[in-house]
Amino acid sequence: LMHLTRKLIEIRTMLLSIDQNDALKLPSIVVIGSQSSGKSSVLEAIVGHEFLPKGNNMVTRRPIELTLIHTPAKDGKVPSEYGEFPGLGIGKLSNFADIQRTLTDLNLAVPSSEAVSNDPIDLRIYSPNVPDLTLIDLPGYVQIASLDQPETLKEKIAALCDKYIREPNIILAVCAADVDLANSPALRASRKVDPLGLRTIGVITKMDLVPPEQGASILAGNRYPLHLGYVGVVAKSHGKKPTNDTTEIARRGESDYFGSHRDVFGAQSSLMVGTDTLRRRLMEVLESSMASSLHGITNAVQLELEEATYQFKVQYNDRRISPESYVAETMDMLKLRFKDFTQQFKRPIIRAKLKGMLEDKVMDVLEQLYWLDKRAPELGDLGSDPKVKPEDIEPYWRHKLEAAASLLTKSGVGRDSTLLVADGLRSLIDSIATAEPFNFHPRAAERLTEFSHMILRDRIGVTSDQVENCIKPYKYDVEVEPREWEAGRERAVQLFEDEVAMCEMKLNEIKKKVGGGRRLNGLMSYVKTLEEQQKEKNSKVSQNDGEQRGDSEEPLPLESYRYPPAQLMDARYAIMYTDRLSVLKLRLMALKSKRCRAGPQSEVFCPEAFLNVVADKLAYTSAMFINIELLDQFFYQFPREIDSRLLYDLDRKEIVEFARENPVVRRHLDLQERKDKLEEVMKQLNSLSTLRADPQPAPRRN
Ligand code: GDP
């Protein structure tokens, strides 16, 4: 039968780790009593060591789940005693003073605002001198609320005790012999949940403080009968000698006391006295209680197991996962997704992107150097106006073209094109890092972005220098083949047509916004006159003196209030788009003219075609070197960094944490673990059925 308790204690611990469901609880002995009733002394007498927090005002603030594990001597060797706090992971403590200190610290860690905590401390003690028992030490009932022990403390402790004294637990009600049992909060609480006293044992402490006859009459239990009886103890040391093992002295004091009153306690054979008797009694009671719980608990575990097995089948189709497999799958998927994404960085795609950027630059250069030039119409008039001779105007426009080409080639193409591609890579990584499953793994996502940024930072400088170096020849001379010229010219036509379409669309939008074309025309001519007036005024002012110059922020003339300011702004934009449209249309005509079609010899008069050819060459060269210096390197390093930075420095604990960050995986693991544990418990329970062959009822006494 000894074996049974031990096994069931193990099973009880496993069940506690599965969940706190009442149906899955095996009984434990719950120790309750008022403060100073001698509760700690009794527990320490059972364990044989002083290990509970002591001192003024030192109230137990958390339940202690105390599991005693008997370690028998093996081959004549007596195993050493030690304690363990499984929840803390601080290893074996063979010095009981260390256990006491740890418990004190854990108690003090409960904020005084909370008074008591429901979170139990798990303590296991392994010793050849203890029986297999599970005891739960609860905070002592407070009888008189004092200044530093507020009323709420009293209530909280009572509530906590109520929670633990529920079935199937056995109640150990500690009462001091020198206090009337009628006033014992422990007995009162027990009577509420166990009116017949079927699962309550009374422990009467401080037997030495009352006359032996009085003590004996309490133990007889006639006033408050308990089915499991009362045990009388003397748990306090008589001598005040400072010593390491006060409990040993206590034990001697106890046997001295009961020995010297053998006449009273020995005579009535039904009286139970002494700590040893108490231990035996507790073992018997726990054993029989566990034995009788066995059937119920087996059924309950069976039910839970069936449910868990069913759910596992239905929800996960019996697919088992492990944190390791999840991590491995996640990393494989990351690499795969990355590989898919690299398709977006094929050379033609990069070249097209760079070309787009350079075409924008071409437009900027044209706007800056050509469209605002007062002589710009010359370029367009060439074909129609016979008075304009190409030779006359060529030097001016040749100079312009050189300036434009240099503006384009020296605009920092190396840096801009490298950054454009690097930005593309960065947003690719960002999109991976913010998408499932990395949205569940913020720390991994952070590392991912961190190391990819690091690779990029490393490569950006080298790449942009290399690109800049390779486009250097174009800064001096660009040779254009007729085929290239035609392609450039066609592309320029296309770009201008797009630009025209864009301007027209904007104009239409404005037209709609202000309420029609006529209204817009009115607005535009109004703004133009306003601007004329303003110009005149400014020039007058500057002629008069320097006095008021710079003070052009004059209030608008009164008439301006005819239109709301927002519409005047729209009109300004409309004027800008109209002006641009007329330039664009002129240039389109020129680009389509015979002169431009003729070939590269017309470059001076068709700068758009020429600059487009240059842009194309720049894009081609940049793409080539960005590919070598940035993309190839990045694509090579990235998967390797995943292995070395995301994977290899994870220990088991971190792998589990990582996997559990994903709620889907967490639920899967939880259910799987629950099922596994229930299976294990079921196996253990089944192996007990042989032990249960001859159940013994617990006798009232031995
Ligand atoms: P707790 O507050 O219920 O844990 O009570 P303690 O175990 O700390 O005991 C309260 C006080 O009663 C302490 O001073 C103990 O030394 C004393 N005490 C405990 N048991 C006995 C006993 O059997 N006889 C005597 N005389 N004193 C005891």
Q: How far is the CA of 391 from the centre of ligand 1 (A)?
A: 120
Contact 530, 538 (CB under 8 A): no
Predicted confidence (pLDDT) per residue in 247-265, tens digit: 556 667 787 888 888 777 7
Amino acid at site 675: K
Which residues have CB under 8 Å from 687's CB, separation 6+? 7
Report CA(40)–ligand 1 centroid distance (Å).
7
**What does the pLDDT look like over 134-190, one tens digit per residue?**
999 998 887 765 656 666 778 888 888 988 998 889 999 999 999 888 888 899 999
Using the atom order of ligand 1, give the atom closest to the CA of residue 33.
3
Q: In what order do the strands lie in the sheet with 230-232?
A: 92-93, 82-84, 121-127, 64-70, 133-137, 29-33, 170-176, 200-205, 230-232, 272-273
Mean pLDDT in order along the chain per 10 residues (702 residues): 76 83 82 89 90 74 91 85 89 91 88 81 92 90 66 82 90 92 89 91 91 87 88 69 54 78 73 88 90 87 93 94 91 89 89 94 91 80 67 87 92 94 92 90 90 93 94 89 94 94 94 89 88 82 58 53 81 92 90 89 90 95 93 91 78 89 94 94 83 50 44
Query: How many angstroms does the Cα of residue 169 sit away from the middle of ligand 1?
Result: 25
Minimum CA distance residue for ligand 1 atom 6: 38
Sequence-ordered list of residues with C-beta below 8 angstroms from that of 460, at least 6 positions apart, any chain: 418, 419, 422, 630
Specify the DSSP element, H or E, that contains 613. helix 607-626
Token representation of residue 183:
């006033």
Q: How many Å apart are CA 220 and CA 413, to the nearest integer?
A: 102
Check residue 216 and give its pLDDT: 87
Nearest CA among 185, 101, 113, 184 for reference residue 150: 113
Token pair, residue 94, equals 């063979």
659 is written with which tokens?
């996997």
- Measured distance CA(497)–CA(504) in Å, rounded: 10
CB atoms within 10 A of CB 515: 11
pLDDT on residue 213: 86
Mutating to test ligand 1, I would choose from 149, 236, 240, 261 the residue with most ligand atoms within 8 A of its C-beta, which is 236
- Largest Cα–Cα separation, the chain: 147
Q: How far is the CA of 177 from the centre of ligand 1 (A)?
A: 11
Atom of ligand 1 nearest to the CA of 42: 7
The answer to whether 206 and 178 are in contact (CB under 8 A) is yes
The answer to whether 271 and 265 are in contact (CB under 8 A) is yes
Q: Which atom of ligand 1 is nearest to the CA of 237?
A: 16
Report which secondary-structure segment, H or E, holds 230: strand 230-232
Ligand 1 pocket mutation pick from 36, 141, 203, 251 by most atoms within 8 angstroms of CB: 36
Q: Look up tokens 């700590």; give the residue.
A: 275
Distance 251 CA to ligand 1 centre (A): 14
CA dist 176 and 154 (Å) reads 19
- How many CB atoms lie under 10 A from the CB of residue 440? 18
> Is ipTM beyond 0.90?
yes
- Residues 475 and 594: their CA atoms lie apart, in Å, by 29
Q: What is the pLDDT of residue 239?
A: 42
- The C-alpha atoms of residue 672 and residue 679 are separated, in whole angstroms, by 10
Lining residues, ligand 1, CB within 6 Å: 33, 35-41, 140, 205-206, 208-209, 234-236
State the pLDDT at residue 1. Answer: 45
From ligand 1's centre to the CA of 282, what distance in Å?
Answer: 20
Closest ligand 1 atom to Cα of 209: 26
User: Cα of 34 to ligand 1 centre, how many Å?
Assistant: 11
Contact 700, 229 (CB under 8 A): yes
- Any long-range contacts for 435-440 (C-beta under 8 Å, 24+ apart)? 437/330, 437/333, 437/662, 438/334, 440/661, 440/662, 440/663
The angle, 0 to 180 degrees and rounded to 10, between the axes of the packed helices 347-366 and 482-514 is 70
- Which amino acid residue places its CA nearest to atom 28 of ligand 1? 236
Kindly report, residue by residue over 311-341, the tens digit of the pLDDT.
Answer: 999 999 999 999 999 998 998 999 898 888 8
Q: What is d(CA 258, CA 273) in angstroms, rounded to the nearest whole number?
A: 8
Task: Give me ligand 1 centre to Cα 236, in Å.
Answer: 6
Distance of CA 419 from the midpoint of ligand 1 (Å): 78
Contact 31, 138 (CB under 8 A): yes
- Any idea which residue has 């426009």 for tokens? 397
Distance, CA 180 to ligand 1 centroid (Å)? 16
Q: Give bridge partners of residue 170 from the DSSP assignment.
A: 29
Closest residue to atom 25 of ligand 1, CA basis: 206
Nearest atom within ligand 1 for CA of residue 34: 3
Amino acid identity of residue 383, one-letter, is G
Q: Which residue has the least CA distance to atom 11 on ligand 1?
A: 36
